Amino acid sequence: MLALTTGAVTSYAQLGAGDCADQQPASKKLQLEASIDPLLVSIDKSSNGTVTLLLENRQPQPLTIPPGALTVTDFCHADSDSAKPGYRLNSQAIITGVPSAPIAQGEDFPVKIVFSQVWEVGESRAQLKLGPDVICNFLAIKEPAPFAVQIDGSNPEAVFGPGEAPSLILSNADRATYFFKWSLIAPERARSQEFTAQIAPNGKLDLDLGPAQFKPGISTNFILSAGTLRDEVLNGYLQLQPATAPGMSPQPPRQLPLKMRFRLLASPWQQLFNIVLTALLILLGMYASLFFRYFIPNAAAVAKLNRQLNNMETRLRGIDENLPTQPRTVLEATVDSCRHRLKAVIRMSPAASTPLAEVQSAADMCSRWIDCAYSAADILAGSRCRLQTGFPPTLMRITEQKCDRVLHPFLSGFTTPEELQAMNDALKDAGMYLDAACNDKPIPDLEAIFKNRLELFKDKTLAELRKAYPQYCGLFDELKNFTIPAKPAQYRDFDVVTLKVTLLVRLQELMIRVGGNPCSPPGSSAGSTPASPALQRMTAHRDRFLSYLNTESYESLEVARVLIMEMAQDFYSETLVEEVVKEPPSIGIVAVPTPVEPSVPVHYSLRFTREALNHVAATQEWSLVWRFLEQGHQTASGPVARTPETQFGWDVYHRFQSPGDHTVSVDIFDIGGQPIRASKPISRSVRIEDDKPQPHRFKRFLPTAWTSETQIENLRTFFLLALALVGVFATARAQVEKLNVLEGAAALVAIGFAADIVKSAVSDKPTGKT
């Protein structure tokens, strides 16, 4: 709408849709003095312009111009290269200089027109009218101002990735419509295509950047940079190329700084992955800290324990057969138990100190046991080697008793300090016995035994023995030559003589108790009374007893002592043979404990069905040879058997190393070394199922393989790490955004490593005090 005024607005002229078209002047009343059409109007940056016209009355009569008759239409703007219809600018025009008096024919007068709000850049058209008649056309030209389109907001950012709709808000601070082409530019990226857009005057434009499809191809570098720790962030530009009307000077493109964020995954998953990976790298640093704080000391302790266990195994294998099977098996099982417990220790865990201390304590205790067992076996070996060169048989027996006191306490798997002290004392005594025998030193304990024996041999007793056993008068006479204290060089003779006389006294006492006469022939008794069955059996074995008594070897005297115990119990080896040859045999193998488990020591013994026979002295006449056949590894043709292990004695201890079906068998030999054939072979099948398998190399890291203490301590460590992670997470993310991927990863690990809260919190163990 244009206003015609001479100081105030008096009338308006309306512009129709077709007013944007050029029209030739049609008025015959008023015309421009100079025939220039259209008239160019220069519009300044403030959207204002001024033009002065000289109008002439071409009518034959005077012309009176009523107020408001002379008007200027609204400027209309239309793009020359667009098919869209033009639009009005709502501009204003103030016309001054129109005379109020009649204008004579041919008279001219100046008119000044001030245009305002002609805001559109480029060409806009309007008309000067007198009533309905067009006097002339105006062509307003506004040169474009410097491009004032900006990205709305500070630090603008666009996110590119799957499922993202990147967009920006552009703001136009000018009262002009801008047409422009936009494109995206980023370092080390190809420039995107150009797309056309326009923005209204003083308006905002939501610019969709999606059509640019500005994202790099999937590559290793892109996956590392945009799909790991953080989004790939580039400082790029949104380039705007203004479109100018024909004939106007082109404007330079404008580059608006823009932060471009690239993501490999959809936004929620990418953020989650970034958070998780950040947390993992921080935890990696924390665990690296724990590695240096706990793993290295724990690994050193494990290596030390392994060396200690290896040395213990070496010493244990070096002990000869003088060590009984039970202590040997217990020691082997203890060493294996320490090794299995050591394998189950998680060196990385702060909780490893507790099981390591337990294993160290058990290994130290077992090491002391092995030292004692090694020394005891060495003393037994040395004593037995000297039996034939002057070592007293009784001293051998008490040495064995002392060694038994050394070996017996740790068979339970645990010893107290008092028991260890007693073991060392017994070992010291046994060693003293051997040293004294080798160096002809007095042995008070042995002389005390000699003294007790001499007290039994009163004159009356010796007289009775001379009468009962005249063939041993020389033995009795020799007894008179010994006095207490005895000389160490006489210990063996003193021992053998007194021991033989003691056994003869015991035989005489037993025969008298069953109504017999030691001097009477077998099968008879004093007077005409028939001999009792017990006496008959005793008399039948008397000559056998005397045959062993006539020798001076330790083994023969031991057999004589066993035969005396048989006579006292009235159970002889013939009774045992009868049980063995029965159909089926009344004897079998007993295993304790059952069921048998891998690597667990098991007590195997041969037991008679008749319980009273299991404790008689006659069993000491027999030698038992045990064979343990352990099933080996499986092949296509079946299991491969290993070489059977052999042990000796009525009671043996053995442990099978692996699950499977194994066989235990036993052969019996009499005192002469002849086999005693049972009605069928004596054997037993042992099936071992691995109910408690040792943890696998990797399965031991699973919570199910942990001990209760380890589970509690690891749970505590987990919560402490989680709390520490929360404390440093914000700082860590800020560091990541400033660095590239590799630098950020290293920074996260360093932050986790330097988290002192982890070290101090994990180190502060509960004291248990309230």
How far apart are the C-alpha atoms of 143 and 158, rounded to whole Å? Answer: 33
pLDDT of 4 > 50? The answer is no
Q: What angle do CA 708, 307, 598 make, to 5 degrees?
A: 50
Final residue of a structural domain among 641, 662, 688: 688
CATH of residue 644: 2.60.40.10
* Of 33-47, 174-188, 487-501, 607-621, minimum mean pLDDT range: 33-47
pTM for the model stands at 0.60
Asked if residue 344 and residue 223 are part of one domain, the reply reads: no
pLDDT of 86 > 60? The answer is yes
Which structure tokens are listed for 616?
């008689």
How far, in Å, are 166, 216, 222, 681 from residue 225 at the CA level? 19, 11, 5, 77
Percent of the chain with pLDDT over 90: 14
Final residue of a structural domain among 142, 163, 180: 142
Highest mean pLDDT (candidates 24-33, 96-105, 419-428): 419-428
Q: What is the pLDDT of residue 80?
A: 62
For residue 654, what are the contacts with CB-CB under 8 A and spacing of at least 6? 325, 329, 601, 602, 604, 626, 628, 645, 647, 664
b/e sequence 27-39, b meaning 16+ C-beta within 10 Å = bebbbbeeeebbb
User: pLDDT-based confidence at 310, cuts 50/70/90?
Assistant: very high
Asked if residue 614 and residue 591 are part of one domain, the reply reads: yes
| Separation of CA 444 from chain center | 62
Burial of 705 (0-12, 13-18, 19+ CB in 10 A): middle
221 is a domain residue: yes
Which structure tokens are listed for 656?
């099978």
Q: What is the pLDDT of residue 369?
A: 93
pLDDT of 523 > 50? The answer is no
pLDDT of 269 > 80? The answer is no
* Digit-coded pLDDT (tens) for 370-419: 999 999 999 999 988 888 777 888 889 999 999 999 999 988 888 899 99
Q: What is the pLDDT of residue 108?
A: 86
Asked if residue 637 and residue 601 are part of one domain, the reply reads: yes
Asked if residue 29 and residue 138 are part of one domain, the reply reads: yes
How far apart are the C-alpha atoms of 9 and 13, rounded to whole Å? Answer: 11
* Of 217-231, 319-333, 542-556, minimum mean pLDDT range: 217-231
b/e sequence 260-271, b meaning 16+ C-beta within 10 Å = bbbbbbeeeebe
Higher-pLDDT residue of 648, 362? 362
* Digit-coded pLDDT (tens) for 621-633: 999 999 988 775 4
Q: What are phi and psi of 497, to 5 degrees?
A: -65, -50
* Of 9-18, 63-72, 183-192, 321-330, minimum mean pLDDT range: 9-18
Burial of 276 (0-12, 13-18, 19+ CB in 10 A): exposed
pLDDT of 440 > 80? The answer is yes
Asked if residue 485 and residue 462 are part of one domain, the reply reads: yes
694 is a domain residue: no
Q: What is the pLDDT of residue 607?
A: 92
pLDDT of 32 > 70? The answer is no
pLDDT of 14 > 50? The answer is no
Average pLDDT of the chain? 79
pLDDT of 365 > 60? The answer is yes
Asked if residue 711 and residue 679 are part of one domain, the reply reads: no
How far, in Å, are 307, 333, 420 from residue 313 at the CA level? 10, 11, 21
Q: What is the pLDDT of residue 1?
A: 27
**Cα-only R_g, the chain:** 60
pLDDT of 347 > 80? The answer is no
User: Taking a C-beta distance cutoff of 8 angstroms, is the pair 621, 671 a contact?
Assistant: yes
Q: What is the pLDDT of residue 114?
A: 93
User: Taking a C-beta distance cutoff of 8 angstroms, is the pair 346, 710 a contact?
Assistant: yes
Pairing of strands 660-669, 651-654: unpaired
User: pLDDT-based confidence at 7, cuts 50/70/90?
Assistant: very low
Q: What is the pLDDT of residue 124?
A: 87
| Structural domain harbouring 236 | 149-265
Higher-pLDDT residue of 216, 337? 337
pLDDT of 710 > 70? The answer is no
Q: Is there a cis peptide before residue 659, judged by omega within 30 degrees of 0?
A: no
Query: Among 149, 152, 206, which residue's Cα sits nearest to residue 178?
Result: 149
Query: Among 666, 583, 589, which residue's Cα sits nearest to residue 627?
Result: 666
Q: What is the pLDDT of residue 247?
A: 60
424 is a domain residue: no
428 is a domain residue: no
Q: What is the pLDDT of residue 19?
A: 47
506 is a domain residue: yes
Q: What is the pLDDT of residue 377?
A: 92
Asked if residue 462 and residue 504 are part of one domain, the reply reads: yes
Asked if residue 7 and residue 138 are part of one domain, the reply reads: yes
Final residue of a structural domain among 265, 293, 324: 265
Asked if residue 621 and residue 534 are part of one domain, the reply reads: no
Higher-pLDDT residue of 183, 722? 183
Total domain count, the chain: 5
b/e sequence 86-96, b meaning 16+ C-beta within 10 Å = bebbebbbbbe
624 is a domain residue: yes
Which structure tokens are listed for 747?
């920074």
b/e sequence 73-82, b meaning 16+ C-beta within 10 Å = bbbbbbbeee
Asked if residue 733 and residue 680 are part of one domain, the reply reads: no
Asked if residue 137 and residue 40 are part of one domain, the reply reads: yes
How far apart are the C-alpha atoms of 620 and 569, rounded to whole Å? Answer: 13
**Average pLDDT value for residue range 174-183:** 82
Higher-pLDDT residue of 738, 566? 566
Highest mean pLDDT (candidates 192-196, 281-285, 641-645): 192-196
User: pLDDT-based confidence at 367, cuts 50/70/90?
Assistant: very high
User: pLDDT-based confidence at 2, cuts 50/70/90?
Assistant: very low
Percent of the chain with pLDDT over 70: 81
User: pLDDT-based confidence at 361, cuts 50/70/90?
Assistant: very high
* Digit-coded pLDDT (tens) for 536-558: 888 888 889 989 988 888 888 88
* Digit-coded pLDDT (tens) for 525-538: 444 456 688 888 88
Higher-pLDDT residue of 217, 597? 597
Q: Where are the beta strands (DSSP E) in 376-497?
A: none
Pairing of strands 133-142, 39-43: parallel
**Average pLDDT value for residue range 422-440:** 91
Higher-pLDDT residue of 697, 583? 583
pLDDT of 11 > 50? The answer is no
Asked if residue 256 and residue 170 are part of one domain, the reply reads: yes
575 is a domain residue: no
* Residue whose token pair is 């408690």: 692
Burial of 16 (0-12, 13-18, 19+ CB in 10 A): exposed
434 is a domain residue: no
Q: What is the pLDDT of residue 271?
A: 77
pLDDT of 768 > 60? The answer is no
pLDDT of 702 > 70? The answer is no
Which structure tokens are listed for 591?
């295993």
**Average pLDDT value for residue range 84-98:** 86
Q: What is the pLDDT of residue 522?
A: 44
